[in-house]
Amino acid sequence: MKSSVIIFPGSNCDRDMDVALNKFGFKNKMVWHDDTDLPKSDLIVLPGGFSYGDYLRCGSIAGKSKIIKSVIEFAKSGGLVIGICNGFQILTETGLLSGVLQQNKYLEFICKNVFVKINNKENKYFKNIKKEILELHIAHNEGNYFCSNDELKSIQDNNQIAVTYCNQDGVTNDESNPNGAIQNIAGIFNKEKNILGMMPHPERMIDKYLSGEDGSFFFENLVGNLK
Amino acid sequence: MKIKVIVTLKNGVLDPQGKAIQQTLNGMNFSNINEVRQGKYFDIEVNEKDEAKAKPQVEEMCKKLLANLVIEDFKII
C-alpha cells in the first residue's frame, strides 16, 4: 500500500502523518509542493498546518500550487485523497469539496480533544470501523464549516457528511460544537466518497501512552479496506 | 495602471471579527454603530495602459483567487 503526503511551506503535521501511515502499513513518500508529478500512490494526504502562512485565506495559495494539478487529476480519476485540517481547507479551496472553513465562531484558536461521530460507513475510509464515536484532536482557528443552503441540501441528500462533532455519548448539539460549524460538520466527502476532508487529526491519536488510540482505529481500518 | 479591489463577506455570512469590532466601538462610546463588516483591500499594479483590458483581467483574478465566491463578493474600483 503506497501513500504520499504533500508538504507545503508551513505544513506542520506532515511528519506526524508520515509516522502514522508507516506505522499502519503504508509505504509513505513525502512530496514537495513545487513538484509536478505524484509518485504512484493508493492514497494522497494533504496534511495539517499553515500552508503559505495562511496568506489570503487558509489553503487558498496551496490550492493553486504546482503539485495540486496532479492531486486534482488523481482525485477526479477516483484516487483516495484525505485532507486533514489545513488539508481540508485546501480541498475546499480547490473546489474538490464544497463549502468553506470560516474563522471559528468565537474567534479563538481551539486546541483540544473532541468526539466525532461517524455518519457514513459506506466508503473506503470508515467501512468496518470498530467504533462509531472517535476521540480525536483538533487544533485550528478556521474550522467553522459553512456552505449555502442549497449546497447543504445537496451534501445531505448525497450522504456526504463524514463526521460530526458530538459529545462522549454521541449526542450532536450546540454544546458539542466547538467552532460553530453548520450541522456540527467536522468532515465531509465528495459525492463519490473518494475524497475526505476533516478538521480532526487522527494522526495525533495513534499511541495509547501519549495520546489515545482512536486514530489507530481509523488508520488500521483504512489499510484493511484497501487490501 | 493601478486597479483596486475590495473583497467583502456576502450578506448573511457570519462575520465574527466585524461583530467584535462593532462591540468594541460600542464599548468606546461610539454608541450609534449598528454593524461593522470587515473586508480585504488589494492594490494591483497591472502592466497595461488600457483600463478596458486590465479590468476584465482583474475580474478573472478575483474569481479565481482573490475572493472565495462561496462566502465573498468582490468590487473592482
pLDDT range class, residue B16, cuts 50, 70, 90: confident
Q: Which helix (H) or strand (E) holds A101?
A: strand A100-102
A167-198: pLDDT as tens digits: 999 999 999 999 999 999 999 999 999 999 99
Cβ of B16 within 8 Å of Cβ of A105? The answer is yes
A107 and chain B in contact, CB less than 8 A: yes
Per-residue pLDDT, A130: 87
- Name which of A115, A119, A161 is nearest A136 in CA terms: A115
Distance of CA A106 to the CA centre of its chain: 22
Distance of CA A90 to the CA centre of its chain: 10
The overall average pLDDT reported for chain A is 97
- Name which of A134, A113, A100 is nearest A221 in CA terms: A134
A33-71: pLDDT as tens digits: 999 999 999 999 999 999 999 999 999 999 999 999 999
CATH topology of domain A2-226: Rossmann fold (3.40.50)
A68-98: pLDDT as tens digits: 999 999 999 999 999 999 999 999 999 999 9
The nearest alpha carbon in chain B to A100 belongs to B70
Reply yes or no on whether the pLDDT at A210 is more than 90: no
Q: Which helix (H) or strand (E) holds A68?
A: helix A68-76
Q: Identify the residue whose cell numbers are 454521541.
A: A170
d(CA A157, CA A74): 25
d(CA B18, CA A36): 40
Per-residue pLDDT, B14: 86
Distance of CA A85 to the CA centre of its chain: 6
Reply yes or no on whether the pLDDT at A110 is more than 90: yes
Please state, for a pLDDT cut of 70, what percent of chain A lies above it: 100
Chain A partners within 8 Å of B16 (Cβ): 103-107
B70 and chain A in contact, CB less than 8 A: yes
Q: Indicate if ipTM > 0.85.
A: no
Question: Residues A126-144: what's their mean pLDDT?
Answer: 96
d(CA A139, CA A141): 7
Domains and CATH numbers, chain B: 2-76 (3.30.1280.10)
A128 and chain B in contact, CB less than 8 A: no
d(CA A125, CA A225): 7
Determine whether A203 is an active site residue: yes
Reply yes or no on whether the pLDDT at A17 is more than 90: yes
- Selected catalytic residue, list A13, A33, A58, A85: A85
Per-residue pLDDT, A219: 97
Reply yes or no on whether the pLDDT at B12 is more than 90: no
Residue ranges covered by each domain of chain A: 2-226
Q: What is the 3-state secondary structure (H, E, C) of A142-201?
A: CCEEECCHHHHHHHHHCCCEEEEEECCCCCCCHHHCCCCCHHHEEEEECCCCCEEEECCE
The one-character DSSP state at A49 is B
Of A9-18, A23-32, A81-90, B23-32, the range with the lowest mean pLDDT is: B23-32
Testing the interface with B: which of A54, A94, A148 to mutate, by most B Cβ within 10 A?
A: A148
Please tell me the pTM assigned to this model: 0.93
Determine whether A137 is an active site residue: no
Please state, for a pLDDT cut of 90, what percent of chain A lies above it: 97
Cβ-Cβ contacts under 8 Å between A and B: the total is 35
Distance of CA B5 to the CA centre of its chain: 7
Per-residue pLDDT, A138: 98
Testing the interface with A: which of B37, B65, B72, B73 to mutate, by most A Cβ within 10 A?
A: B65
Taking CA atoms, A189 is separated from A104, A118, A139, A209, A214, in Å, by 21, 12, 21, 31, 20
* A122, three cell numbers: 459506506
Per-residue pLDDT, A170: 96
Chain A partners within 8 Å of B8 (Cβ): none
Reply yes or no on whether the pLDDT at A102 is more than 90: yes
